[in-house]
Amino acid sequence: MEQIKNYIIIGGSVQKASDFSLWQYQPNSQHLNRIDVSGWNKLCRPESVLPIIGSKQFYIIGEHSGEACKEQKIDYLLISA
């Protein structure tokens, strides 16, 4: 994400699982920091990072398919960096 000069990474299993995490990587300092986000546990299988060009915000989009996601409460999170 050019505006915040970081990479946002969704960590988790390749298999269909429920334990995911969100990370921020800063290439200049080579720091990797876990990001705690309110509502993260309400997303089902977060899978995409969508930056908002010209801002320091981005969306995290969750998956909609399968039995595991039928009780999904929210579809996305809007995060301000």
Structure tokens at 62: 């969750």
Residue, of 27 and 68, whose pLDDT is higher? 27
54 compared with 66, residue with greater pLDDT: 54
Cα separation values, 29 from 16, 17, 23, 74, 77, Å: 33, 31, 15, 34, 27
The first and second tokens of residue 16, run together, are 């269909």
Average pLDDT over residues 26-34: 91
Mean pLDDT of 48-75: 86
What digits encode the pLDDT tens for the residues 1-18?
555 578 999 998 776 666
**What is the predicted pLDDT for the residue at 71?**
80
Domain coordinates of the chain in residue numbers?
A: 7-80
Mean pLDDT score of the chain: 85
- Cα–Cα distance for residue pair 25/44, rounded to 1 Å: 23
pLDDT value of residue 13: 77
How many residues can be counted in the chain? Answer: 81
